[in-house]
């Protein structure tokens, strides 16, 4: 009998442990449907704001030897627009990513999705390159507490917080989120980084500073998942540099109940989800694991 690769992230049930990370393929319902059919257990939308954001001018993303550097600027059409489009959804497991500066931004957006079928929300408390949102919010414990309390009061579905590495101790952000009633943690977001053109001596990205993603950040992300799951009784989703089933298993062993895939979609396209799912299943069969939950956090025993 084949191993059961379904999993749970707190109250969120997933048929498969691989998810699309926020920001990779925008907000196309058609694309989300295709990725779901190709093996993604859930799809996280691009971060949505209260009103449309244009983002930064080009260049906004560059390919590195082993990853990506981006400063898109959270461009999006706004939560109200996407909520209308999502009203057509009946079967795709979608988690809506939200970004804002104050509690009122988030509660306004939650109201837009009241009658829309979604799995939950993911609060972006960790974008490293946009002022007054993301990491600047995540680095303020009092603001994190107020936002999560406000969102939990309004939301009818589970709420996740996506954390990153900013100027404060990220574990304190996690602690505040847990104490405020968050249902799960996604770790981590991209890391602040930059690149300079040696011919022109100019920063390559228009915003100069961007977020580093892909394989180079995986060891950092694994460490964060391990630390979070060791210190807090909270479901964790691992994110950062996953491009193979071995990478995914590493996150599961560190304490993640599911994983998000981002940069690898750019390299392997839609087939990456089924490839990783199949690899996880074969690994479980080899190691005699019947369920994903049996392997979550095993590395913490040593």
Percent of the chain with pLDDT over 70: 100
Q: Read off the tokens for 260.
A: 């998000």
Query: What pLDDT is stored for residue 1 in this prediction?
Result: 77
Q: What is the DSSP-derived secondary structure letter of residue 77?
A: -
**Residue-wise pLDDT tens digits, 3-60:** 999 999 999 999 999 999 998 877 789 999 999 999 999 999 999 999 999 999 999 9
Residue with tokens 């993303």, as numbered in its chain? 61
- Gap between the Cα atoms of 273 and 288, Å rounded: 22
- Gap between the Cα atoms of 139 and 298, Å rounded: 30
Would you say 28 is a known binding-site residue? no
Q: Which of 153, 160, 77 is nearest to 126 (CA)?
A: 160
Would you say 58 is a known binding-site residue? no
**Residue-wise pLDDT tens digits, 249-272:** 999 999 999 999 999 998 888 899
CATH number listed for the domain at residues 7-301: 3.20.20.70
Would you say 63 is a known binding-site residue? no
Query: pTM here?
Result: 0.96
- Gap between the Cα atoms of 218 and 210, Å rounded: 17
Over the range 95-112, which residues count as b (16 or more CB within 10 Å of their CB) and which as e? bbbbbbbbbebbbbbbeb
Query: What pLDDT is stored for residue 131 in this prediction?
Result: 82
Residues acting as catalytic residues: 127
**Residue-wise pLDDT tens digits, 120-179:** 999 999 988 888 788 888 989 999 999 999 999 999 999 999 999 988 899 999 999 999
Q: What is the DSSP-derived secondary structure letter of residue 72?
A: -
Query: What pLDDT is stored for residue 128 in this prediction?
Result: 83
- Gap between the Cα atoms of 251 and 238, Å rounded: 6
Would you say 97 is a known binding-site residue? no
Packed helices 170-179 and 218-231: angle between N→C axes, nearest 10 degrees? 40
Average pLDDT of the chain to the nearest whole number = 95
- Helices (DSSP H) in the chain: which residue ranges? 29-37, 79-86, 103-112, 135-138, 141-154, 170-179, 218-231, 245-254, 263-268, 271-287
Query: What pLDDT is stored for residue 107 in this prediction?
Result: 96
The size of the chain, in residues, is 302
């Amino acid at each position: 009998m084949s191993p059961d690769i379904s999993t749970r992230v707190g109250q969120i049930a997933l048929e498969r442990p691989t998810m699309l990370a926020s920001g990779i393929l925008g907000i196309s319902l058609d694309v989300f449907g295709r990725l779901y059919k190709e093996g993604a257990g859930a799809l996280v939308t691009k971060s949505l704001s209260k009103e449309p954001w244009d983002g930064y001018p080009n260049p906004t993303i560059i390919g590195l030897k082993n990853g990506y550097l981006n400063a898109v600027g959270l461009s999006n059409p706004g939560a109200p627009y996407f909520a209308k489009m999502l009203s057509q959804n009946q079967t795709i497991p979608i988690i809506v990513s939200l970004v804002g500066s104050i509690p009122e931004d988030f509660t306004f957006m939650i109201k837009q999705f009241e009658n829309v079928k979604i799995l939950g929300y993911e609060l972006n408390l960790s974008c490293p390159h946009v002022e007054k949102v993301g990491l600047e919010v995540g680095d303020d414990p009092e603001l994190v507490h107020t936002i999560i309390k406000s969102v939990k009061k309004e939301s009818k579905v589970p709420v996740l917080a996506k954390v990153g590495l900013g100027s404060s101790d990220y574990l304190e952000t996690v602690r505040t989120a847990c104490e405020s009633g968050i249902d799960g943690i996604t770790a981590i977001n991209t890391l602040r980084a930059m690149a300079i053109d040696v011919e022109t001596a100019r920063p390559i990205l228009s915003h100069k500073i961007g977020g580093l993603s892909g394989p180079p950040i995986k060891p950092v992300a694994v460490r964060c998942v391990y630390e979070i799951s060791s210190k807090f009784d909270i479901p964790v989703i691992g994110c950062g540099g996953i491009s193979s089933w071995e990478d995914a298993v590493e996150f599961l062993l560190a304490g993640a109940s599911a994983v998000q895939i981002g940069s690898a979609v750019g390299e392997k396209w839609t087939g990456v989800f089924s490839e990783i799912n199949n690899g996880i299943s074969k690994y479980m069969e080899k190691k005699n694991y019947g369920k994903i939950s049996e392997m979550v956090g095993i590395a913490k025993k040593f």
